[in-house]
Amino acid sequence: MGHDHNHSHGVTATGKHRKRLIAVLAITLGVVGIQVIGAVVSGSLALLADAGHMLSDAAGVFIALMAAWIATRPASDQRTYGYQRAEVLAALANALILIVIAVVIMIEAIRRFGETTEIHTDVMLWAAILGAVANLVSLLILQGAQKESLNVRGAYLEVLGDLLGSIAVIVAAIVIMTTGYAAADPIASVLIALMIIPRAWHLLRDVVDVLLEATPKGVDVNMIREHIIAVDGVVEAHDIHIWTITSGVPVFSAHVVVEDEVLNARGADLILDQLGSCLGRHFDTEHCTFQLEPVSHSEHESHQHA
């Protein structure tokens, strides 16, 4: 006996903020073009590394947008939750792209140590300042949405890393301009790579939690069990499962043992409504499925398995 309190497959968390992502994508691509030209003209690896990181951000945002579009496709008999997990797979792709970019930057930076490279610091400095301003604007655009979606949070963290990277390039340019210490350029590149790796790891860890159907963060299973048992007529709750389909779509299921007389008197609908209302009020879970089991049936099952 199951009951569902809202299994609609509407707009996902990423889909709600599609316009923000499009704006960030446009800004990022514009700055990438300027920074690549600036890196070629100035000869700065740090500026090229920052441009490469921003390009990976643009790719990540594009993937997130495509995933949000795919996730709106309706469910079918073959894919009963539709394509909402596409957003999680896109976040996984973002994390892997970040790791690859970091490794490439690190290798090239190490190769540059000891080499004498002429760097036009004026071009390097202005291109980095432009990148920093653009990243700051993108952060403000994504600030209100990054807590709702893994993909938006992934984009937010990448842009934050870009801002820090641009600051590192600015510092390196100033150091080279004032002291002539050219090694500041590959040092800044290494710093950019080191900033990318932890962010990629945290995003990857969150994605793995979703794919392994781990209990959502901040959800206490024992507390949920106590709330269910507190409903009048409920004797026990077992086989409790809580997982996430995609960002903003938590799912809950449980077997609930109910007193025979209460179930007969009230009917299943009333008890299910009370359970769903309680769970939704306390745990913000829209997709709730309960299997009601009369005490007599539960005892019958326990004898069979004895």
pLDDT tens for the 306 residues of the chain, in order:
444 444 444 455 556 667 888 888 899 899 889 889 988 888 888 888 888 878 877 877 777 677 667 767 777 777 767 777 777 887 788 788 888 888 888 888 888 787 667 788 888 899 889 989 998 998 888 876 666 666 677 777 778 878 888 888 999 999 988 998 888 888 888 888 887 788 788 888 888 888 888 878 777 888 888 888 888 888 888 888 888 877 667 788 888 898 888 777 667 778 888 787 777 766 666 677 888 888 876 555 554 444
Would you report the helix, strand and coil content of the chain in percent, each value rounded to 5?
65, 10, 25
User: How much is the pTM?
Assistant: 0.69
* Of residues 121, 213, 107, 211, the one with CA closest to residue 173: 121
> Please, which residues have CB within 8 angstroms of residue 218's CB and are 6 or more apart in sequence?
none
Distances in whole angstroms, Cα of residue 238 to Cα of each of 30, 130, 250, 256: 54, 57, 19, 7
In single-letter form, the type of residue at position 75 comes to: A
Half-sphere exposure of 158 (CA within 13 A, CB side): 34
Question: Cβ atoms within 10 A of the Cβ of 230, count?
Answer: 9
Cβ-contact 155, 142 below 8 angstroms: yes
Q: Quick one: 87 exposed, middle or buried, by C-beta within 10 A (0-12, 13-18, 19+)?
A: buried
